[in-house]
């Protein structure tokens, strides 16, 4: 079945892996190298000081890699495939034993090359762990990515926001029981995408991933806890979230590149560790490109679908990197009448409640080229007509300027589309005929 190693082999074949031969420390040095390279390459750290296990990062740091992971060729095809998988998840084959050789080792988290990323971090964090859990009655399964702060050899602090895993934890806690979890590290990108896509409660992200992978995903039953992990993953941690233990978690650098608040959070007790032969440890750089894209691309698909419901054509949706892949959106549309852009803005806010600022542009603007977006704002936006302000609405506590208790914020939409009744040529971008062909012939570009 598709796994991390198969995808790495594909990346290697296309020259997209940068193998770092020099030794790096897991404390800060690895993060520095990942931050410099992840936008261009999958980063493969061969020598991490104090460990025999290599570290890979940046797997999902570009849209091109995500397209390859899902075998699609355009952003529209990507959105459609992801949305279909969420609406029509596919049952996974569940087995007792993995298809690859795996050994159980002593429970000692200090033997994993867990990275410390930034100067004020609360400690080393596992950042690419898929946490799978079932409800006490076994009817609900959830798979999601959570930051895991290493406390000692056998325990993590886990950050739980009030979403699906939190609900399973609270339900178990109300019965005085721990919540069993399987934590998988080192997986195919489709699994990370599914775990980040936030399908409705009750839809298993494993089944979303199975649809994305054409029905090839197999799940393996844990030996100690009541949970499943994906066959072929690199590392499996079996554990339980304790019902009556909380510790201070953080600081941690989140999407915005600022530190999230320190909070009391639950504790995971690790009961068993299983390693694939010659395992590869996978990391996601907090506040890096991969973190932002994984968090944002599922929301982009939801925004794209919602805006399609109110305007005739939607081009692209970009939850921008500078907005943390979360707070800022640029959307291109084809208007039929003035006012369509504001409808698109309101649809976007409804589809992704954490959005803070939305810019809507015409289809001739590349939403991924922020210089073009700024040009559209400069030449097509008029504050008196195109500004939409919504005060005191729920936003995201990831925004340090929002109310950190209530999440209340002010949201702004900007209509940077040209007026329907204005002459099109007045707003047309200048161009040089044959420019690309000339540059290829004369300068060898392209």
Active site residue ranges: 254
Which residues are 359's β-sheet partners? 330, 414
- 316 alpha-carbon distance from chain centroid: 18
- CA-nearest of 189, 191, 218 to 205 is 191
Q: Report how far residue 373's alpha carbon sits from residue 378's, in angstroms, rounded to the nearest whole number.
A: 9
Q: Is the peptide bond before 251 cis (omega within 30 degrees of 0)?
A: yes
Paired tokens of 38? 């992840």
Q: Report how far residue 143's alpha carbon sits from residue 164's, in angstroms, rounded to the nearest whole number.
A: 9
- CA-nearest of 92, 61, 303, 314 to 203 is 92
Q: Which residues make Cβ contacts (< 8 Å) with residue 423, sequence separation at least 6?
A: none
Q: What are the DSSP E strand ranges found in 53-140?
A: 55-57, 93-95, 102-105, 125-126, 129-134
- CA-nearest of 66, 143, 159 to 398 is 159
Paired tokens of 174? 């109300």
Q: What are the DSSP E strand ranges found in 141-279?
A: 141-145, 148-150, 155-158, 179-185, 218-221, 228-230, 235-249, 252-253, 259-260, 263-276
Q: Which residues of 37-66 are buried (b: 16+ CB within 10 A; e: fewer)?
A: bbeebbbbbeebeebebbbbbbbbbbeebb
Tokens 């980040």 belong to: 196
């Amino acid at each position: 079945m598709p796994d991390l190693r198969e995808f790495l082999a594909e990346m290697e074949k296309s020259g997209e892996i940068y193998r770092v031969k020099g030794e790096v420390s897991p404390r800060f040095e690895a993060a520095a190298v990942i931050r410099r390279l992840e936008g261009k390459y999958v980063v493969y750290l061969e020598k991490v000081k104090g460990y025999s296990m290599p570290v890979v990062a940046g797997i999902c740091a570009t849209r091109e890699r995500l397209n390859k992971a899902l075998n699609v060729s355009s952003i529209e095809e990507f959105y459609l495939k992801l949305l279909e998988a969420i609406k029509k998840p596919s049952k996974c084959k569940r087995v007792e034993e993995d298809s690859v050789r795996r050994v159980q080792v002593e429970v000692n988290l200090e033997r994993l090359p867990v990275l410390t990323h930034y100067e004020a971090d609360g400690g080393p964090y596992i950042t690419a762990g898929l946490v799978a859990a079932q409800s006490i009655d076994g009817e609900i399964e959830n798979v999601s990515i959570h930051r895991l702060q290493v406390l000692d050899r056998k325990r993590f602090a886990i950050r739980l926001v009030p979403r699906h895993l939190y609900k399973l934890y609270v339900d178990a806690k109300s019965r005085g029981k721990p919540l069993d979890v399987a934590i998988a590290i080192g997986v195919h990108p489709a699994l990370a995408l599914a775990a980040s896509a936030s399908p409705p409660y009750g839809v298993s992200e494993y089944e979303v991933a199975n649809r994305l992978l054409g029905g090839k995903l197999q799940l393996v039953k844990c030996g100690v806890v009541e949970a499943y992990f994906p066959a072929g993953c690199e590392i499996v941690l079996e554990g339980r979230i304790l019902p009556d233990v909380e510790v201070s978690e953080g600081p941690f650098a989140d999407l915005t590149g600022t530190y999230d608040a320190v909070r009391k959070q639950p504790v995971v007790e690790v009961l068993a560790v299983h390693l694939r032969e010659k395992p590869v440890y996978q990391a996601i750089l907090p506040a890096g490109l991969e973190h932002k894209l994984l968090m944002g691309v599922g929301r982009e698909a939801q925004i794209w679908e919602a805006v399609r419901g109110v305007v005739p054509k939607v081009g692209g949706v970009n939850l921008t990197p500078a907005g943390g892949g979360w707070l800022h959106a640029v959307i291109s549309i084809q208007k039929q009448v003035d006012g369509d852009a504001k409808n698109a803005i309101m649809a976007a806010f409804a589809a992704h409640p954490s959005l803070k600022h939305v810019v809507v542009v015409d289809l001739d603007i590349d939403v991924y080229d922020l210089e073009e977006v700024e040009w559209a704002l400069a030449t097509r936006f008029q504050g008196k007509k195109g500004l939409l302000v919504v005060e005191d609405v729920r936003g995201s506590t990831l925004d340090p300027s929002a109310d950190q208790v209530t999440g209340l914020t002010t949201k702004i939409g900007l209509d940077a589309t040209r007026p329907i009744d204005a002459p099109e040529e007045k707003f047309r971008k200048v161009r040089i005929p044959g420019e690309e062909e000339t540059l290829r012939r004369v300068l060898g570009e392209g």
